[in-house]
């Protein structure tokens, strides 16, 4: 039986980091974004754009993919560093280090390092744009699109393989520990998914539940992944794993409150 504890553990640590950074940087992000929040109509357009982008990546030349992703990474690194240290001459350092590393020193360790940084950065930045209501709409629509793009069209898998061939850090790739003969992979979109849910859980119910929801999502992900590693299924939308863990955490909270109130 193949069991992997490394990827779920890393996913948990990423989620915890996102929550703590969000609590610390929330006000700065709000000021930077002008207190703007997405509405449901924006969510529909965002999910549609994400689905369309996955499809387009399958057909455009590799050099175009390389340019688009590299540009996005550089901008994101600059903005996130500027959020942490509001000095432009310091904020340009991480993007330069990324470009130099990608061109001259690239390896699996740097690949995972920058992928984790990007996943955390997107979660912290985007978390303030969502409300509880728009989060529900977003995860519902995105899960449906992800299921279609993975299981029906296969475009998510094809675009990911294309980006991985270019060495782009579009996710975390880790050995399955303790069985190191197998590798596991989780895309940046799924990391953002978990980070967003952790942030929204923290905003609505407090940091304690936010961290508990992240732990539950990581554990449920571990269960689903164990099943996947010991089955013939090769590709399945990880958004289903993450949202299942989140719903489990919400259900546990409501059950706890229900039985606690009955005792009183």
Residue 229 lies in a domain: yes
3-state secondary structure of 154: coil
C-alpha span between 86 and 75 (Å, rounded): 15
Look at the chain and report how many structural domains it folds into: 1
Chain segment 34-79, per-residue pLDDT in tens:
778 999 999 999 999 999 999 999 999 999 999 999 999 999 999 9
CA nearest to 213, candidates 9, 21, 1, 15: 15
CA nearest to 140, candidates 22, 234, 246, 249: 246
- The answer to whether the CB of 245 falls within 8 A of the CB of 220 is yes
Residue 53 lies in a domain: yes
CA nearest to 171, candidates 51, 9, 11: 11
Could you list the residue range(s) of the whole structural domain that residue 72 is in? 6-257
Q: Which residues of 19-28 are buried (b: 16+ CB within 10 A; e: fewer)?
A: bebbeebbee
Residue 264 lies in a domain: no
Question: Mean pLDDT in runs of 10 for the chain (264 residues)?
Answer: 90 96 89 86 95 94 94 94 90 96 96 96 91 95 96 94 95 84 88 96 95 97 92 91 97 91 72
- The answer to whether the CB of 236 falls within 8 A of the CB of 151 is yes
Structure tokens at 165: 């061939």
Residue 262 lies in a domain: no
Structure tokens at 42: 């924006």
Q: What is the pTM of this model?
A: 0.94
Structure tokens at 52: 């369309």
CA nearest to 135, candidates 200, 182, 90: 200
């Amino acid at each position: 039986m193949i069991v992997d504890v490394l990827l779920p553990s890393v996913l948990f640590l990423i989620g915890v980091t996102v929550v703590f950074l969000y609590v610390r940087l929330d006000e700065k992000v709000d000021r930077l974004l002008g207190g703007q929040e997405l509405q449901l109509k924006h969510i529909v357009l965002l999910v549609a754009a994400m689905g369309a982008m996955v499809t387009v990546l399958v057909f455009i030349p590799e050099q175009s993919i390389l340019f688009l992703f590299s540009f996005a990474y550089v901008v994101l690194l600059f903005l996130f560093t500027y959020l942490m240290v509001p000095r432009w001459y310091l904020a340009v350092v991480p993007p330069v280090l990324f470009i130099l590393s990608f061109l001259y020193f690239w390896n699996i360790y740097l690949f995972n390092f920058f992928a984790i940084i990007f996943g955390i950065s997107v979660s912290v930045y985007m978390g303030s744009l969502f409300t509880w209501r728009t989060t529900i709409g977003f995860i519902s629509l995105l899960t449906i699109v992800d299921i279609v793009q993975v299981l029906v069209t296969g475009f998510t898998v094809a675009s990911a393989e294309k980006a991985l061939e270019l060495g782009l850090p579009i996710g975390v790739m880790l050995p399955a520990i303790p069985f190191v003969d197998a590798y596991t992979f989780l895309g940046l979109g799924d990391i953002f998914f978990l980070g967003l849910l952790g942030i929204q859980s923290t905003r609505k119910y407090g940091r304690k539940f936010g961290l508990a929801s992240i732990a539950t999502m990581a554990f449920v992900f571990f269960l689903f992944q164990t099943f996947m590693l010991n089955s013939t299924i090769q590709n399945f939308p990880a958004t289903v794993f993450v949202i299942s863990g989140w719903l489990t955490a919400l259900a546990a909270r409501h059950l706890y409150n229900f039985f606690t109130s009955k005792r009183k």
